[in-house]
Chains A and B, each alone.
Chain A
Amino acid sequence: SQTIHQWPATLVQPVGSPLSLECTVEGTSNPNLYWYRQAAGRGLQLLFYSVGIGQISSEVPQNLSASRPQDRQFILSSKKLLLSDSGFYLCAWSVRGLAGGGETQYFGPGTRLLVL
């Protein structure tokens, strides 16, 4: 069966510090991968998605970046965190199929980031 891991579970970082959040998927190959953010009291915001190694699409201009160095690894990074980067970060994967084919997205447990 497939599993998705995220770490760390929680993180407290000072403003201006770097960030690296990692997501890995097991039990599947060639998945689509996604990074979402939930700010307090707000819904899901898609940050990045990837359909393959080195293929990253950005949905929201910001000081965050994403990389996919391996097929089942997705990393979210920042060189300098802002207060507004606080939130709950979720990684998700889906089977790579036809566009709009109704593939389910499966979510990881999330990382709670607090920037002080």
Chain B
Amino acid sequence: AQSVTQLGSHVSVSEGALVLLRCNYSSSVPPYLFWYVQYPNQGLQLLLKYTTGATLVKGINGFEAEFKKSETSFHLTKPSAHMSDAAEYFCAVSDPSNYQLIWGAGTKLIIKP
């Protein structure tokens, strides 16, 4: 069965510093992987997704993620954090048996001035 683990329920970085949010997955088949962002009291917005092809995926707002099959990881990065990046980030993997996404528990990103 598919599962997703996000390391760190809260991550704090200084403005201008590198953002690294970790996501590891388990999947019995080649996975489809997603990162979503949720700002307070809003719905989730797709940041980026990996299906096939290039393993480095670029998304919106300067974020990118790299699919590493050998490490079963799909970590999200951004070179320089901005105050507007403060939000909760969710990693998800597509369940090949149905139409569902398997979600990580989420990581709250805190940006220090």
Contacts and interface: CB of A to CB of B under 8 A. Distances in A.
B105 A104 contact: no
Interface string A35-62: 0000000111010010100000000000
B97 A43 contact: no
A12 interface: no
A102 B99 contact: no
A83 B75 CA distance: 37
Interface residues of B, number: 25
B103 A103 contact: no
Nearest to B49: A104
A109 B43 contact: yes
Query: Chain B binding site: helix, strand, loop or mixed by DSSP?
Result: loop
Q: By CB atoms of chain A within 10 A, which of B43, B46, B49, B106 has the most?
A: B43
Interface string A48-91: 01010000000000000000000000000000000000001010
Nearest to A102: B32
A81 B57 CA distance: 43
Interface residues on A, range: 20 to 34
A101 B101 CA distance: 11
Contacts of A34: 100
A7 interface: no
B45 to A, nearest CB: 7
B32 A100 contact: yes
A105 B49 CA distance: 11
B94 A49 contact: no
Interface of A: 32, 34, 42-44, 46, 49, 51, 88, 90, 92, 94, 96, 99-110, 112
6 contacts: A32-B99, A34-B100, A44-B44, A88-B41, A96-B99, A100-B32
